[in-house]
Amino acid sequence: MKEAQTIRQLLPLLKPYPWVIPLIIILGLLSSLSEGLGISLFIPFLQSLEQTTSQSVSSNLLLNFLNQLFIYVPSNHRLLIIPLCIFGSVLLKNCLSYSNAILFSWLYSHISYRLRSSVFKQLLNVSYGFLDSHQSGKLLNTLATETWRACDALSVLVDLIISACTVFVFVMLLLLVSWQLTLLVAVALILISFSIQQVSRQAKQLGKQAVQANDHLANRMLEGFYGMRLIRAFGQESYEQKRFDQASAQVRNTSMKLDQLYATIEPLSEVLSAALLLCILVIALLQDRATLPTLLTFIFILYRLQPKVKQLDSARVNLNALIPSVEDVMSFLDCSDKPYIRSGRTSFKGLKQAIYFESVSFRYNPLDKPALRNVSIQIPRAKTTALVGSSGAGKSTLINLICRFYDITEGEIYVDDCPLRQLHLADWRSRIAIVSQDIHIFNTTVRENITYGRLEATEDEIIAAARQAHAQEFISNLPQGYDTQVGDQGIRLSGGQRQRIALARAILRNPEILILDEATNALDSVSEHLIQKAINTFSQDRTVIAIAHRLSTIEQADQIVVIEEGRVVEQGSLQHLLKLNGMFAKLYHLQYRSVLT
Ligand SMILES: Nc1ncnc2c1ncn2[C@@H]1O[C@H](COP(=O)(O)OP(=O)(O)OP(=O)(O)O)[C@@H](O)[C@H]1O
């Protein structure tokens, strides 16, 4: 049964609360029992109307039990006592159902919270390699939509359990009232259930299509957000609108089909059930085996059973439609098939001599060509190392490996004499700050953006960092100073201002190793001058690794590493490399000198 498979997948979610589902089942059973008892009490009540109770000794266990209940109640009091008992059981049933609903809402909110948190944690921990190979829209859809749908599956599961409890109790009652009629009902119910099964199969198919359509739509939304400038600049609004509408139409069509499918369940179930009820009534009356009160009670129980069976069927169909969402979230949370960057145990006390690359090779994917090949370099402490090379040479890859965003495929990186992989990851990264060209500015205040470098920094430290990054002046001219909201991606700031905020963030972190990925796009000369000045002061006595695009960085570097097609082709000081008259000298004269002339 597919439902059983889904339930098994949902079980890990329930693990932290092992007592809740048994409690829900017990409450569900008790509530069904009290409802069943309330309905059954109509038999002695109707019999007392006929005033036949005292003489009736039936072979029916249930009837005898109910008669025994009121044997000591004088018949003229029964008309009052029995309705009171019926009311009592209705009251009890509703109290138990209410408790179950409250318990479930508690469980639902706790589990959905845990699930969202686990999905986000997975997103933060899984290796970049995994993220690279998945579309961000798909990941966003998993986090934003499928997580909710997976929680809905849990809610449907609980509906299923409660309905199953009620159906179980009511079927037991029916058996006690008349097993022959119950058998007839059972055969008919199986037939009804079989027709619902067909609907259920279709629902699962549609559920899969719905997940795909949602993934696709989320992708289009993301592309729309991030590509907004490009779309407008290239006048592609109508093209993008068309692509978005197509993705949106797919979502509309699948969700409409799913809704239509859900809508068929109720009428289908009701028509088949009505036919069933009428058949039973006719058969029972023709056979004249049941007394009228018993028959009425049987039909009344059956009547109350109908919505429960319908609920059970809807729950099964819904559960099937939600299986793809559960699978999507569970497979994302499954740690066994994903790469992770594991932290080492050695704590990092500070760089003493150098970072050594020893015959390091790396490829992003096993089938890709290597991004770094057999790289052996030394990055000495408290010196500036400039990485130079043409686009796609492997400079950023080298930085990625130093930050351990990826793990090397061959060779070893040593921090002094300790392999990088053995260092405590958070320790190591806490000593690094990156000022990169693709700065991320959070949509919050200037202060929060700077404080991201060190969350516990004091106001004075924040201002000092901003001053050092030459950002204090423009920040104090902003409408609310440090409390100014900078907009999405810092849209309300200029490129140079964003860079200075990013620099202030790095300065506040007070890193031992500073990684600079210099902007290739030209900033205005004032901004560039200010940023360069700030970086120069800040770089003193720090280990700086710079992907160098500016002549000044190259000229101030203690060593230059030239990378081409993943290999280190030249290495040494500026003078040494110029004397070699090789690749760097060519690049230097062509690219950098031309900047001066
Ligand atoms: N996430 C990735 N997945 C797969 N391949 C990648 C990834 N990032 C980079 N590459 C590939 O690795 C090689 C080196 O790229 P890298 O980004 O290190 O170059 P780079 O020297 O920093 O270039 P640029 O100066 O243009 O930024 C390129 O062939 C690139 O296509």
Ligand 1 pocket check for 401: Cβ under 6 Å:
no
Q: How far apart are CA 501 and CA 479, in angstroms?
A: 16
ipTM, two decimals, is 0.96
Q: According to the model, what pLDDT value does residue 289 have? A: 55
Which helix or strand (DSSP H or E) is residue 329 part of? helix 292-333
Q: Please choose from 365, 397, 564 the residue to mutate so as to test ligand 1's pocket, defined by most ligand atoms within 8 A of CB.
A: 397
Ligand 1 pocket check for 395: Cβ under 6 Å:
yes
Judged against a pLDDT cut of 80, whether residue 258 lies above it is answered with yes
CA-based nearest residue to 321, from 216, 218, 210, 213: 210
Q: Tens digits of per-residue pLDDT, 73-118?
A: 777 787 888 888 889 999 999 999 899 889 988 988 888 888 888 8
Three-state SS across 488-556? HHHCCCCHHHHHHHHHHHHHHHCCCEEEEECCCCCCCHHHHHHHHHHHHHHHCCCEEEEECCCHHHHHH
Query: Which of 511 and 320 is assigned the larger pLDDT?
Result: 511
Ligand 1 pocket check for 389: Cβ under 6 Å:
yes
Portion of the chain with pLDDT greater than 70, in percent:
93
Q: According to the model, what pLDDT value does residue 519 have? A: 63
Q: Please choose from 360, 364, 561 the residue to mutate so as to test ligand 1's pocket, defined by most ligand atoms within 8 A of CB.
A: 364
Q: Tens digits of per-residue pLDDT, 124-157?
A: 888 888 888 888 888 888 888 888 888 888 888 8
Q: Is domain 18-333 classified as CATH 1.20.1560.10?
A: yes
Contacts of residue 478, defined as CB under 8 A and 6 or more positions apart, other chains included, come to: 446, 484
Judged against a pLDDT cut of 60, whether residue 520 lies above it is answered with no
Ligand 1 pocket check for 399: Cβ under 6 Å:
no
- 418: β partners: 415
Q: According to the model, what pLDDT value does residue 75 have? A: 75
Q: Where do you find CATH 1.20.1560.10 in the chain?
A: 18-333
Ligand 1 center from residue 507 Cα (angstroms) = 27
Average pLDDT value for residue range 427-438: 87
Portion of the chain with pLDDT greater than 90, in percent:
22
Q: Long-range contacts of range 96-104, CB-CB < 8 Å, 24 or more positions apart?
A: 96/27, 96/30, 96/31, 96/34, 97/27, 97/31, 99/27, 100/24, 100/27, 100/28, 100/31, 100/162, 103/20, 103/23, 103/24, 103/27, 104/24, 104/155, 104/158
Q: According to the model, what pLDDT value does residue 354 have? A: 92
Judged against a pLDDT cut of 60, whether residue 5 lies above it is answered with yes
For atom 7 of ligand 1, the residue with the nearest CA is 364
Average pLDDT value for residue range 357-384: 91
Q: What is the DSSP string of 123-157?
A: HHHB-HHHHHTS-HHHHHHIIIIIHHHHHHHHHHH
Q: What is the mean pLDDT of the chain?
A: 83
Kindly report the CATH number that applies to the domain delimited by 354-596. 3.40.50.300
Q: According to the model, what pLDDT value does residue 54 have? A: 46
Residue 288 pLDDT level (bands cut at 50, 70, 90): low
Q: How far apart are CA 584 and CA 570, in angstroms?
A: 7
Ligand 1 center from residue 374 Cα (angstroms) = 16
CA-based nearest residue to 500, from 472, 477, 541: 472
Judged against a pLDDT cut of 90, whether residue 355 lies above it is answered with yes
Q: According to the model, what pLDDT value does residue 154 have? A: 83
Q: How many residues appear in the chain? A: 597
Judged against a pLDDT cut of 60, whether residue 38 lies above it is answered with yes
Average pLDDT value for residue range 245-271: 85
Position in ligand 1 atom list of the atom nearest CA 566? 14
Q: According to the model, what pLDDT value does residue 596 have? A: 44
Average pLDDT value for residue range 495-515: 89
Give the lowest-confidence range in 42-46, 120-124, 378-382: 42-46
Residue 14 pLDDT level (bands cut at 50, 70, 90): confident
Ligand 1 pocket check for 397: Cβ under 6 Å:
yes
- 432: β partners: 513
Judged against a pLDDT cut of 80, whether residue 239 lies above it is answered with yes
Q: According to the model, what pLDDT value does residue 591 have? A: 67
Q: According to the model, what pLDDT value does residue 522 have? A: 52
Contacts of residue 281, defined as CB under 8 A and 6 or more positions apart, other chains included, come to: 295, 299
Ligand 1 pocket check for 392: Cβ under 6 Å:
yes
Position in ligand 1 atom list of the atom nearest CA 389? 21
Judged against a pLDDT cut of 50, whether residue 25 lies above it is answered with yes
Q: According to the model, what pLDDT value does residue 53 have? A: 45
Residue 55 pLDDT level (bands cut at 50, 70, 90): very low
For atom 30 of ligand 1, the residue with the nearest CA is 392
Judged against a pLDDT cut of 60, whether residue 428 lies above it is answered with yes
Average pLDDT value for residue range 64-78: 77
Q: Tens digits of per-residue pLDDT, 190-201?
A: 777 777 777 777
| Alpha-carbon 516 to chain mean position | 33
Q: Where do you find CATH 3.40.50.300 in the chain?
A: 354-596
**HSE of 416, CA atoms in CB hemisphere, 13 A:** 13
Give the lowest-confidence range in 31-35, 299-303, 396-400, 455-459: 299-303
Q: According to the model, what pLDDT value does residue 463 have? A: 93
Ligand 1 pocket check for 437: Cβ under 6 Å:
no
